[in-house]
Amino acid sequence: MHMFCFIYLCIDYRQHLFYCCIGAKDIEYKAASMLTKRKGSTFPITIHTMEAELKFHLSDKNTGQELFDMVCRTIGLREHWYFDIEFQDRDHYRFWLKRNKKVIDQLSAGKSSQPVQLTHIHCSFLVKFYPEDVSEELIQDITQHLFFLQVKQDIVSEHIYCAPEASVLLASYAVQAKFGDYDDKTFIPGSLQIESLLPQTVIDQYQMTSEMWEERIKIWYADHKGLSREDAEKEFLKIAQDLEMFGYCYFHIKNARNSDVSLGVNSLGLHIFKPENKLVPVVSFAWSEISHIAHTDKKFKVKTLERNHSDDLTFFSRDLQVNNSMFELCQGNHLLYKQRRIPDTLEVQQMKAQAKEQRINRQQEKARLHKEQELRSILEHEKEVMVTRINQLELELELTRENLRRSEETVELLGQKSDLIEQENQLLREKSAEAEAEMGRVKNTAIKTEEEKLVVEQRAKDAELLASRILEDSEQRAQEMERLIQELEKAKEAELIAKKKLTSMANLYPQLSGATDAEIDYLTTDMTQLKLAVEQENLTFMERSESIQAQLKNLKSDMDMLKVEDKLTHLDRLHDENVQRGDTKYQTLQKTASGSTKSRVAFFEEL
């Protein structure tokens, strides 16, 4: 990382602070001879924020404060104490714009003989100070959004080291903030731009395709359902602020023994690092034990609260060009540390009240939308059930119609069969009568011979047998007739039932539509459960936070199988050592700030 990189420190910057900490470097300006302009002319300037470009026209009399105020008004930013405008002078050094000096004079500063081209002036509007706790101290949504965008960019560009598993988790929150809730029906595979979500070194360290990275991000992304953009960005920042390099700005310095070390400045104090290790400081000095800071040329003197001046911390910068930037960041963070420990100003109190009201309104709107989504889900489910039931009823209706048609055919066939049986019975009765008459004639006929007698007897027996069979057949047909009559009655009853069922189905559809209207009327009821919903939401956030570490461990174990050891960076190995020791960022700071001020100053001087 470059010796004067800007990771833009974490601190709560109060409104009057910028009057105390202004300036980039104290050098003589030779604007009049170096500018390609005429007196009284205007020039265009482009301010790059993290999500937009703002174009202004300035006169040669406009100061840095006037430009800064124009930017804040344009984007609707009231928490301006966190931000500043960064510019590049003619020697290609990047500095913060001085508020009390003319913009044109600062842009023309430097030793280069090349004139300033007033048609191509670009500056950046960036976070300069971070709060100690992003979840508690950031008030406006626009402030949080700008923080989120800058931290995300710093992680992807590797200005802030982030472990692979944490990178995936943070990427999932970034996707949630950008696209909203995950929907499996509308999600398009390949739509996530992995290069804009993960650091390139993380991508290179694993034998994983873009699809595999996307799948792992998507698993976390789906778990964030219900988070608004503001909530997703806040969760992102809450996790990011625990990264080891978050909130630091590093400078190369030397101690009294001329040893090269790195100075890390953040919202909690001054921290000394070995040049090869920017994750773990070796000694720290909290702002609470520092009285004030002064510098002369390259020499910096940090006066502590100890009475003995031998306990003061002294170090030397390696580059005069960044002296004022380093001094400004130290002085600003020190003042902010004290500002956070006094009551809020009236403006801050007003902003917090407005933010609280907006947050409540947003929670109410979220609860209402959640209620509507639940009701819509219930109605859609009921609609599916109704459609299924209607399809079943239509099928039953068709079967009933078919049964009715068959019943009518059966009734007709039974009627015809009944008529045939009646005709057959009539014929049988006639044959029976003829047989009885024949028996009478045979008995009355004189039998002349024995043979004739036998013949007659045989005929008589045959006639009796025939009569018996006719009688039995007649009885069977009578029973069959009785059975057919019963079946005919049942068929008529079935036909009547089918007609009634057909009539009831015709009246079913108005009832179904009426039920839907009754459910929709529920949308207009008063949501009296808002408080419970908000409490449940907070509980959900707490449970999610408690499970993050366990999920990160599982993700790390899963990804370690695909890791390419040869691609690990020096910072990766240092981070793994910290994890194995069980050290966190804040535990390390407590250790390095322990002991007396005198002993820590002595330790620094012996490095």
| 284 and 384 together in one domain | no
Instruction: Answer yes or no: is 419 within a domain.
Output: yes
Q: To 10 degrees, the CA torsion angle through 170, 175, 178, 181?
A: -120
> Do 362 and 338 have their domain in common?
no
Q: Could you tell me if residue 90 is inside a domain? A: yes
Give yes or no: residues 484 and 370 share one domain.
yes
Q: How far is CA 181 from CA 96, 173, 174, 225, 423, in A?
A: 39, 11, 12, 5, 82
State pLDDT tens for residues 119-162.
Answer: 678 999 999 998 999 989 999 999 999 999 999 999 999 999 99
* Angstrom distance (rounded) from CA 69 to CA 311: 41
Other Cβ atoms closer than 10 A to 157: 10
Q: What is the CATH number of the domain that holds 58?
A: 3.10.20.90
Task: Tell me how far apart the alpha carbons of residues 254 and 314 are, in angstroms, rounded to a whole number.
Answer: 9
Stretch 344-354: mean pLDDT: 92
Whether 404 and 435 map to the same domain: the answer is yes
> Is there a domain that residue 125 lies in?
yes
Say if residue 329 is in the same domain as residue 466. Answer: no
Q: Say how many C-beta atoms besides its own lie within 10 A of residue 423's C-beta.
A: 10
Q: What is the CATH number of the domain that holds 326?
A: 2.30.29.30
Answer yes or no: do 287 and 416 share one domain.
Answer: no
Between the alpha carbon of residue 110 and those of residues 26, 94, 284, 397, the distances in Å are: 11, 11, 35, 92
**Residue 236 included in any domain:** no
CB 51 within 8 A of CB 152: no
Q: Which amino acid is located at 143 in the chain?
A: T
Is the distance from CB of 421 to CB of 484 less than 8 angstroms? yes
589, part of any domain? yes
| Residue 173 belongs to some domain of the structure | no
Residue that finishes a domain, picked among 99, 130, 161: 130
Looking at the structure, tell me whether residues 428 and 512 fall in a common domain: yes
Nearest CA to 544 out of 235, 289, 296 is that of: 235
- Looking at the predicted structure, is the pLDDT value of residue 574 above 80? yes
Q: Which residues contact 105 (CB under 8 A, 6 or more apart)?
A: 29, 31
pTM score, whole prediction: 0.71
Asked whether residue 303 falls in the same domain as residue 362, the answer is: no
Mean pLDDT of 541-559: 70
Q: How many domains does the chain have?
A: 3
Q: Which residue shows structure tokens 């190369």?
A: 252
CA distance linking residue 509 with residue 511, whole number of Å: 5
Closest CA to 126 of 100, 101, 102, 159: 159
Cα–Cα distance for residue pair 371/190, rounded to 1 Å: 32
Same domain, 428 and 498: yes
In a domain, 389, yes or no: yes
C-beta of residue 80 within 8 angstroms of C-beta of residue 97: no
* Token reading at 151: 């931290």
Most confident of 202-206, 399-403, 474-478: 202-206
| The last residue of a domain, from among 105, 130, 155 | 130
For residue 506, is pLDDT > 70? Answer: no
pLDDT at 306: 80
For residue 356, pLDDT over 60 is answered with yes
Look up the domain containing 421 and give its range. 353-439+462-523
Check residue 40 and give its pLDDT.
Answer: 56
Sorting pLDDT into bands at 50, 70 and 90, what band is 112?
Answer: low
Task: Report the distance separating Cα 604 and Cα 540, nearest Å.
Answer: 45
Please indicate, yes or no, if residue 310 is contained in any of the structural domains: yes
pLDDT at 453 over 80: no
Nearest-10 Cα torsion for 400, 405, 407, 409:
-170
Same domain, 401 and 486: yes
Same domain, 496 and 370: yes
Q: Which residue has the tokens 């520092």?
A: 290
